[in-house]
């Protein structure tokens, strides 16, 4: 029975393919292999991420409440957003979260990593202490922190402040302090991740650099300024990109720590993602939510590209 020999047609096709393949240059072959490797992932991303994203972008030109008919309204959603004074406050809040949160957390994380690198006794244990907060859930921690922020005589933070002579603070109940009060647990939770990355970056600096500097008689701070920090530039930039995206997208802490989950008091703690969430699922104004998503996307893209462009320059 002739079942297992390929037909003449197939044999011919195979020979054609082999002779075609042999005529390609190495670079072309590598390029084809690359695309082969990328085939399934690209299909995945296109179907699962890009297509829904373009749909979301399209929805931003609609008036749609999820269950009813879709009505095309062009750029009206964007007009309404830019005319809404709450939007500008929310935008400012979002930038504040990142603008204050990223430098503080990077500074803290670096300091912790730098000094942690020098101690040996119980190093693993202490390092774990700094990382474990990263594993907690935002909801549970929000509840705990809310108790920390209580006024006297219950709140630990105010108790601590008043015992050193600083008057008690309203924290979450203040239009000025609220944002920073919420930023604190966000910084606290993210610290562990940054500390670990910094430790690794510091340990990757070749000993020879340090030995050379010591021979030259350089002091601690000089070494820090001229060797450690410059060598850490790629690490710092990686963490900056990732942390900035993270803070610009802050949501869980604000939702869990504010009254009604609404970014109060008086919208002073509300970030963009919360505004998107509210429009989408509290008011079912999907068009507006989608438009805000587009705006957020553009902001994230521009900032990340800018930070990556900085990374191109060699130290």
Secondary structure E strands in the chain? 62-63, 71-72
- Bridge partner residues of 71 (DSSP): 63
- Under rule CB under 8 A, which residues in 31-50 are in contact with other proteins? 31, 33-35, 37-38, 40-42, 44-45, 48-50
Q: How far is the CB of 92 from other proteins (least distance, A)?
A: 17
Matching residue, tokens 């010591």: 214
Determine if 18 is a binding residue for other proteins (CB under 8 A): no
Question: Do the Cβ atoms of 67 and 156 come closer than 8 Å?
Answer: no
Question: Do the Cβ atoms of 94 and 268 come closer than 8 Å?
Answer: no
Determine if 99 is a binding residue for other proteins (CB under 8 A): no
Q: How far is the CB of 172 from other proteins (least distance, A)?
A: 7
Determine if 212 is a binding residue for other proteins (CB under 8 A): no
Determine if 240 is a binding residue for other proteins (CB under 8 A): no
Number of residues that bind other proteins (CB under 8 A): 115
Question: 175: which residues sit within 8 A by CB, 6+ positions away?
Answer: 265, 266, 268
Determine if 105 is a binding residue for other proteins (CB under 8 A): no
> In terms of CB distance, is 75 or 301 closer to other proteins?
301
Q: By CB under 8 A, name the one of 228, 235, 253, 269 that touches other proteins.
A: 235
Q: By CB under 8 A, name the one of 161, 210, 300, 307 that touches other proteins.
A: 300
Determine if 122 is a binding residue for other proteins (CB under 8 A): yes
Stretch that binds other proteins, among 7-15, 17-25, 210-218, 235-243 (CB under 8 A): 235-243
Q: How far is the CB of 300 from other proteins (least distance, A)?
A: 4
Q: How far is the CB of 7 from other proteins (least distance, A)?
A: 28
What is the number of alpha carbons within 13 Å of residue 194 lying toward its C-beta? 30
Question: 237: which residues sit within 8 A by CB, 6+ positions away?
Answer: 307, 308, 310, 311
Determine the distance from the C-alpha atom of residue 102 to the mean position of all C-alpha atoms in its chain, rounded to a whole number.
Answer: 10
Euclidean distance between CA atoms 199 and 9, whole angstroms? 61
| 83: number of Cβ within 10 Å | 9
- Among 232, 199, 194, which residue's Cα sits nearest to residue 116? 199
Determine if 199 is a binding residue for other proteins (CB under 8 A): yes
| 23: number of Cβ within 10 Å | 8
Question: 119: which residues sit within 8 A by CB, 6+ positions away?
Answer: 126
Stretch that binds other proteins, among 6-14, 16-24, 93-101, 141-149 (CB under 8 A): 141-149
DSSP state of 167: P
Determine if 10 is a binding residue for other proteins (CB under 8 A): no
- Under rule CB under 8 A, which residues in 147-166 are in contact with other proteins? 147-148, 150-154, 156, 162
- Bridge partner residues of 72 (DSSP): 62
> In terms of CB distance, is 148 or 210 closer to other proteins?
148
Helix (H) or strand (E) holding 258: none
- Under rule CB under 8 A, which residues in 265-294 are in contact with other proteins? 265-266, 273, 276-278, 280-284, 286, 289-290, 293
């Amino acid at each position: 029975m002739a079942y297992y020999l390929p037909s003449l047609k197939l044999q011919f096709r195979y020979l054609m393919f082999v002779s075609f393949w042999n005529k390609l240059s190495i670079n072309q072959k590598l390029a084809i292999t690359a695309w082969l490797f990328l085939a399934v992932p690209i299909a995945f991303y296109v179907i699962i991420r890009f297509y829904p994203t373009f749909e979301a972008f399209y929805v931003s030109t609609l008036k749609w409440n999820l269950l009813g008919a879709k009505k095309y309204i062009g750029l009206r959603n964007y007009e309404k957003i830019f005319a809404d004074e709450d939007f500008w406050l929310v935008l400012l809040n979002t930038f504040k979260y990142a603008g204050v949160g990223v430098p503080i957390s990077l500074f803290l994380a670096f300091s912790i990593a730098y000094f942690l690198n020098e101690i040996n006794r119980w190093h693993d244990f202490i390092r774990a202490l700094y990382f474990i907060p990263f594993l907690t859930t935002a909801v549970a921690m929000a509840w705990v922190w809310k108790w920390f922020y209580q006024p006297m005589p219950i709140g630990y933070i105010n108790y601590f402040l008043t015992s050193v002579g600083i008057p008690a603070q309203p924290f979450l109940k203040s239009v000025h302090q609220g944002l920073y009060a919420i930023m604190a647990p966000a910084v606290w939770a993210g610290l562990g991740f940054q500390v670990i990355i910094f430790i690794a970056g510091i340990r990757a600096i070749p000993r020879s650099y340090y030995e050379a500097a010591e021979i030259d008689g350089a002091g601690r701070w000089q070494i820090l300024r001229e060797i450690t920090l410059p060598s850490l530039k790629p690490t710092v930039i990686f963490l900056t990109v990732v942390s900035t995206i993270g803070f610009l997208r802050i949501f869980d802490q604000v939702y869990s720590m504010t009254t009604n989950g609404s970014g109060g008091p008086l919208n002073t703690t509300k970030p963009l993602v919360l505004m998107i969430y509210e429009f989408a699922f509290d008011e079912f104004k999907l068009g507006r939510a989608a438009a805000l998503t587009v705006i957020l996307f553009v902001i994230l893209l521009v900032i990340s590209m800018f930070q990556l462009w900085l990374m191109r320059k060699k130290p």
